[in-house]
């Protein structure tokens, strides 16, 4: 498996809020690009936590992430291998 499936905590219906000078509170939602980087374990701890909270707290984000993981799981099925003959020819060259 080449991507990371995080632990879901659906019971925690948490949305994440930050202070904004113009608006008192603004909801931070995870973008599709954040979800992609998260699915491939390319986010740091703090960012991962923010994204996971977004997944847990926002049904739309949760649905998007679930569909993303589903496509990535399908991609996992099709990983071709080189033939033994190719490997033998390469090793002969060493």
Partner 1 sequence: MAQLHVMDDKDLVRLYQQGDQRAISELINRYKQRIYSTIYFLVRNRELAEDLFQDSFIKIINSLKNKHYSEQGKFLPWALRIAHNLVIDHFRKEKLMPLQHDSEEYSVFDVLPQKSRNAAEQMIYDEKIAHVRALIDKLPFEQREVVILRHYAGLSFKEISNMLNININTALGRMHYAILKMREMIQKEQVNLRE
Footprint on this chain of partner 1 (rule: CB under 8 A)? 2-3, 32-33, 36-37, 40, 42, 67-68, 70-72, 74-83, 85-87, 89-91, 93-94
Nearer to partner 1, 20 or 92 (CB): 92
Min CB(72)–partner 1 separation in Å: 7
Sequential DSSP letters for the chain: --S--PPP-TT-----EEE-SSSSEEE----HHHHHHHHTT-S-HHHHHHHHHHHHH-HHHHHHHHHHHHHHHHHHH------HHHHHHHHHH-
Min CB(53)–partner 1 separation in Å: 21
């Amino acid at each position: 498996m080449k991507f990371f499936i995080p632990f879901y905590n659906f019971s925690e219906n948490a949305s994440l809020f930050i202070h904004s000078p113009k608006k008192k509170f603004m909801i931070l939602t995870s973008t599709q690009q954040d979800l992609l980087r998260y699915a491939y374990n390319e986010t740091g701890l703090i960012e991962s936590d923010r994204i996971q909270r977004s997944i847990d707290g926002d049904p739309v984000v949760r649905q998007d992430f679930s569909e993303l993981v589903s496509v990535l799981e399908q991609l996992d099925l099709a990983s071709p291998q080189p033939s033994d003959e190719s490997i033998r020819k390469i090793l002969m060259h060493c």
